[in-house]
Structure 1
Amino acid sequence: MKIIVTIPAYNEEDTIGEVIQNTKKTMSKANHHYEIQVLDDGSTDQTKNIAQKLGANVFSHQNNRGLAQTFRDEIKYALENNADIIVHIDADGQYLTDEILNLLKPIIDGEADFVLGSRFMGTIEDMPFIKKLGNRAFSRVVSKITKTKISDAQTGFRAFTRDVAEEVDVNSNFTYTQEQIIKAVEKNFRIKEIPIYFARRSAGTSRLMTNPFDYAIRAGVNLIRIYRDYVPLKFFGAFGFLFILGGFLLFLYSLLYLDYFFDNTIILLFIVGVQITLFGFLAEMIKNESK
């Protein structure tokens, strides 16, 4: 069984070396057949050179492509390298390499196909309040969509089988985290969460959260996209209901306080509401047929 530990990295020269070295120490304890892969996402510092000197298989983007594209390429190269199990861990050192074996165990024991390292089930040394709030919101949405309790849908510390990697496509342009979980559940893969330790970042700054306001906007937009793409009937139905409700309330107001029962605004609100709701039904049918 071949295990590939894949590490996405963008300007992580201060931490990438330690993550690779600690990964080697951890994997050697269990005598697993493994390789370490680094996907350099257009770094302008010494990240690539450090990873190569430490013996990792390094693949590079010419320019910074972002989380989602980097993840897709990580999977592609790992599969081409005949991975049976893929472990994904970040390059900033906040996830502890000692816990890689804990992620692998449920898969090796045949208990799970996909294992998530949950920060909220474990210990969080440091996480900004707005990011913690966003992570919990994402997890709640993913849990509702999948009807599966997920405490940390945003975690970047995860392990999964070759079958999961081959059958679960990630199409998002922003991140891979929630989409991989949702599609894995849809394809009936067994998912398990285990508690992990999330350490304080020792060097550099977060690539995901340059400032709280920017993070909040992007997180909010992504939440809307998740609802739209995976539960279209609920998404469009909610908007349709609001228009119909607005038309009904306006009708009641005109009935009680005005001299007319209908006007163009009331009719328009009803028509738009019905059309949006019907569009939700159509989108739901297309989604179900495409599974």
Structure 2
Amino acid sequence: MTKLIIQIPCLNEAESLPDTLVALPRVIPGIDQIEILIIDDGSSDGTADVARRFGAHHIVQHRRNRGLAAAFQSGIDAALAAGADIIVNTDADGQYVGEDIAKLVAPIVAREADIVIGDRGVGRNEHFGPFKQLLQRLGSAVVRNLSRTDVTDAVSGFRAISRTVAQRITITTEFSYTTDMLIQAGRKRFKIVSVPIRTNQTMRPSRLFSSIPQFISRQLLTMGRAYATYNPLRTFAVIGGLLALVGFLPLLRFLALWAMGDGDGHVQSLVIGGAMLVLGALTGLMGVLAELIGANRKLLEASLHKLRMLEERIESFDNPPAHSGADNAGSAWKRRA
């Protein structure tokens, strides 16, 4: 039996959530059971109550707002605990067409992909302005390079992941999970594909960021942090090499002047160049240490994966599945975080 859980992170979405929930599919080829999981990220407008009235099977509530990345990770943890074989993430504002969830899960059901990203066609989407289209294309190109994948819409929140991926991905950023997740998945060599999807126009402004410059700066910070985490030696080697190169310039200047007999008054070039070379060497050593720490991180990730599997086995023994699906119809599982 293949179980799909559709998770929806929410922050004060009581007004738009009903339409989103009604539009979700109840039957999908290759899926035996579909459940809905709501992550209420500290809402103050009764979002969780609305979710219950409209048939959400699972509700996770944060006592205060913790951000989209934390809400996404809470949803993944809850979906795994609820026995999901496939997890689909979508937005509460109705940007994505619910019927397209079938397109997302199809490659995973067919065992052709581990992660499926909904491609909004950012370069030609009529709901995006020219500047946003340009930013989306540039951002996706950078993420493709960093993650070594062929994702065409890197920041799309409409995505499906298999249970195996959910068990091995841990979101570490505090801003948005989209790029962090892709870089992790690419470096762990999961199969990632994109499928074209439709979008609806949303009227309310984004609650993830207050301005385009803030969005760009946070995404760049997230991408840089994620890349440095999984490529520490290369990152520090490049930085150290640049520092050493800068250090060579005043040294060459001093040597040239010294060769011409005018080196006495330019000792400061020798001092600055030597200091930059030492700084570059220290940065390179930091890269070696970071690489060793990265090896330890892989061991911790493997241990976390085994721990999650062990917890799931214990959970299955403590809560055996019901003999009839009708016995659990309309039940709600609730968790506070």
Identical aligned pairs, as a percentage?
Answer: 36
Matched AA of 1:207: R
Structure 1: runs of 5+ lacking an equivalent: none
The question of whether the paired residues in 2 share the 8 Å contact of 1:145 and 1:231 is answered with no
Counterpart in the other structure of 1:28: 27
Say if 2:37 is the partner of 1:37. yes
The question of whether the paired residues in 2 share the 8 Å contact of 1:119 and 1:152 is answered with yes
Say if 2:270 is the partner of 1:284. no
Q: Residues 186 and 29 from structure 1, CA distance in 2 versus in 1: closer, same or farther, beyond 3 angstroms? A: closer
Rounded Cα–Cα distance in structure 2 between residues aligned with 1:171 and 1:49? 29
The question of whether the paired residues in 2 share the 8 Å contact of 1:3 and 1:33 is answered with yes
Counterpart in the other structure of 1:267: 274
The question of whether the paired residues in 2 share the 8 Å contact of 1:123 and 1:196 is answered with no
The question of whether the paired residues in 1 share the 8 Å contact of 2:43 and 2:65 is answered with yes
> For each residue in 1:33-89, what CA deviation from the matched residue of structure 2 results, as whole angstroms up to 9, or x when unmatched?
111111111111232222111011322111101011101110111111111111110
Q: Residues 242 and 186 from structure 1, CA distance in 2 versus in 1: closer, same or farther, beyond 3 angstroms? A: closer
The question of whether the paired residues in 2 share the 8 Å contact of 1:117 and 1:155 is answered with yes
What's the offset of the Cα at 1:257?
4.4
Report SS of the residue matched to 1:124. coil
The question of whether the paired residues in 2 share the 8 Å contact of 1:243 and 1:272 is answered with yes
- Structure 1 residues 3-152: aligned runs within 5 Å: 3-23=4-24, 26-28=25-27, 30=29, 32-56=32-56, 57-120=58-121, 124-127=125-128, 131-152=132-153
Rounded Cα–Cα distance in structure 1 between residues aligned with 2:222 and 2:170? 17
Matched AA of 1:49: D
What's the offset of the Cα at 1:177?
1.4
The question of whether the paired residues in 2 share the 8 Å contact of 1:27 and 1:101 is answered with no
Q: Residues 172 and 138 from structure 1, CA distance in 2 versus in 1: closer, same or farther, beyond 3 angstroms? A: same
Give the TM-score taking structure 1 as reference length.
0.90
Counterpart in the other structure of 2:311: none
The question of whether the paired residues in 1 share the 8 Å contact of 2:233 and 2:287 is answered with yes
What's the offset of the Cα at 1:116?
0.9
The question of whether the paired residues in 2 share the 8 Å contact of 1:122 and 1:197 is answered with no
Aligned length: 288
Matched AA of 2:117: L
CA RMSD of aligned residues (A): 2.3
The question of whether the paired residues in 1 share the 8 Å contact of 2:183 and 2:227 is answered with no
Counterpart in the other structure of 2:252: 252
Report SS of the residue matched to 2:206. coil
What's the offset of the Cα at 1:136?
3.6
Rounded Cα–Cα distance in structure 2 between residues aligned with 1:163 and 1:6? 17
Structure 2: runs of 5+ lacking an equivalent: 299-337
Rounded Cα–Cα distance in structure 2 between residues aligned with 1:137 and 1:282? 32
The question of whether the paired residues in 1 share the 8 Å contact of 2:140 and 2:152 is answered with yes
Rounded Cα–Cα distance in structure 2 between residues aligned with 1:188 and 1:239? 26
The question of whether the paired residues in 1 share the 8 Å contact of 2:122 and 2:136 is answered with no
What's the offset of the Cα at 1:225?
1.3
Matched AA of 2:48: K
The question of whether the paired residues in 2 share the 8 Å contact of 1:3 and 1:83 is answered with yes
Give the TM-score taking structure 2 as reference length.
0.78
Rounded Cα–Cα distance in structure 2 between residues aligned with 1:22 and 1:186? 35
Q: Residues 154 and 36 from structure 1, CA distance in 2 versus in 1: closer, same or farther, beyond 3 angstroms? A: same
